[in-house]
């Protein structure tokens, strides 16, 4: 891909580019905790977006997408979102840099990537981070990594119209090879934890289903969590988010909330605790214990938070009969998408064979498999 990007850039623009990349991300544990001001544990992966860029002498941004085989141009003095189009992410970040006072003029850009679209690996966040970093490199701007994270997130909010949390962009930019990140979504304090897989690997199974419930159910879960927080206002402690509650606090308000709201809150409180416990397990290099925490996370997501589905539950349940799998859970918003699995390396072929056969029999389709490793965040190639 690197050679293809450079050659395409030379052919289109007749000059030499700077090459930068930004990776996709996985989330090992800590799901639906981000908007409750809690903890998450993502990591940057070896699937990435790559950008070739150079300044030009005008005010036009001329862009070519390798994946879509499509050209697009806009004037950096005046532009706006193009709903549903890939250029929106690039323009969104450009707008954030200009708004922050950076004098962005014309530039030429070619980009491509190997992040599977629709698998929940945050290809849009990777494109945003890569674009911001590339423009900074091309023009010699001093942009801190944390600022880059914020510009990328705000581009998603303002231009793409998606009110995402900060985890995806943060993981893409701040990733570290062979490490996970424990991120505090309230303070943005973070720490890296070694993830020593030894004779195991991380294998994603994409169910290739996306149930239509996803968006409305996501908003409903946010509201249910908020209801728990509102009911907790009379507690003797200050509660701004579920992050501030423990299970004993939840018991005190249990008669004032519905069983459904109770379950939602219980899951989030327990999941936050699981992320902190998982950090301690990684420090002890206890991969088996980490895997057990993943199974507990999935059980909570399925039974208490109710964001799983038949396909995801089946994928996780099957691994419980495989002694070469340490842990498995659904990853992402839910109602489809991927499971993340820690599998013994020499058993990957058997794992794929068994899962593919059973999934086909039960759901009439074949899942996709993605082997991923933990890599560095945004940088120059």
Give the active site residues: 168
Show the tokens assigned to 372.
């991923």
CA distance 127 to 89: 7
At 129, is the secondary structure helix, strand, or coil?
Answer: helix
Query: Can you give the C-alpha Rg of the chain in angstroms?
Result: 22
| First-to-final CA distance of the chain | 12
Longest dimension (CA), the chain: 70
Nearest by Cα to 25 from 181, 188, 210: 181
Does residue 29 contact residue 276 with C-beta atoms inside 8 Å? no
CA distance 17 to 210: 38
* Degrees, nearest 5: CA angle 307-366-342: 60
* Residue tagged 């396909």 (tokens): 311
CA distance 265 to 221: 10
Signed CA dihedral, 332, 337, 339, 345: sign only: negative
């Amino acid at each position: 891909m690197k050679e293809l990007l450079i050659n395409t850039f030379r052919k289109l623009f007749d000059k030499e580019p700077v090459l930068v990349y930004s990776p996709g991300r996985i989330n090992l544990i800590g799901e639906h905790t981000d908007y409750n001001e809690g903890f998450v544990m993502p990591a940057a992966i070896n699937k990435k977006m790559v950008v070739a860029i150079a300044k030009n002498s005008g005010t036009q941004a001329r862009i070519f997408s390798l994946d879509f085989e499509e050209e697009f141009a806009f004037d950096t003095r005046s532009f706006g979102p193009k709903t549903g189009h890939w250029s929106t992410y690039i323009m969104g970040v450009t707008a954030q840099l200009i708004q922050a006072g950076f004098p962005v003029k014309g530039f030429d850009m070619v980009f491509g990537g190997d992040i599977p679209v629709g698998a929940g690996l945050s290809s849009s966040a990777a494109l945003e981070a890569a674009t911001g970093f590339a423009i900074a490199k091309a023009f010699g701007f001093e942009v801190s990594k944390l600022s880059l994270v914020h510009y990328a997130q705000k581009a998603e909010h303002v231009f793409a119209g998606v009110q995402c949390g900060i985890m995806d962009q943060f993981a893409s930019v701040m990733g570290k090879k062979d490490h996970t990140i424990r991120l505090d979504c309230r303070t943005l304090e973070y720490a890296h934890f070694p993830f020593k897989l030894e004779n195991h690997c991380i294998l994603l199974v994409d169910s290739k289903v996306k149930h239509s419930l996803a968006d409305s159910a996501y908003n409903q879960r946010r509201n249910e969590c908020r209801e728990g927080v509102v009911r907790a206002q009379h507690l003797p402690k200050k509660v701004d988010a579920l992050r501030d509650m423990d299970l004993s606090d939840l018991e005190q308000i249990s008669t004032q909330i519905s069983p459904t709201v109770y379950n939602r809150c219980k899951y989030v409180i327990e999941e936050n605790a699981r992320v902190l416990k998982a950090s301690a397990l990684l420090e002890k290099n206890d991969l088996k214990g980490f895997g057990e925490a993943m199974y507990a996370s999935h059980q909570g997501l399925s039974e208490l938070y109710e964001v799983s589905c038949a396909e995801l539950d089946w994928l996780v349940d099957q691994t419980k009969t495989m002694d070469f799998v340490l842990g498995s859970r659904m990853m992402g918003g839910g109602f489809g998408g991927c499971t993340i699995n820690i599998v013994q390396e020499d058993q990957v072929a058997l794992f794929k064979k068994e899962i593919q056969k059973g999934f086909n029999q039960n759901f009439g389709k074949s899942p996709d498999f993605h082997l991923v490793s933990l890599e560095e965040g945004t940088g120059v190639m």
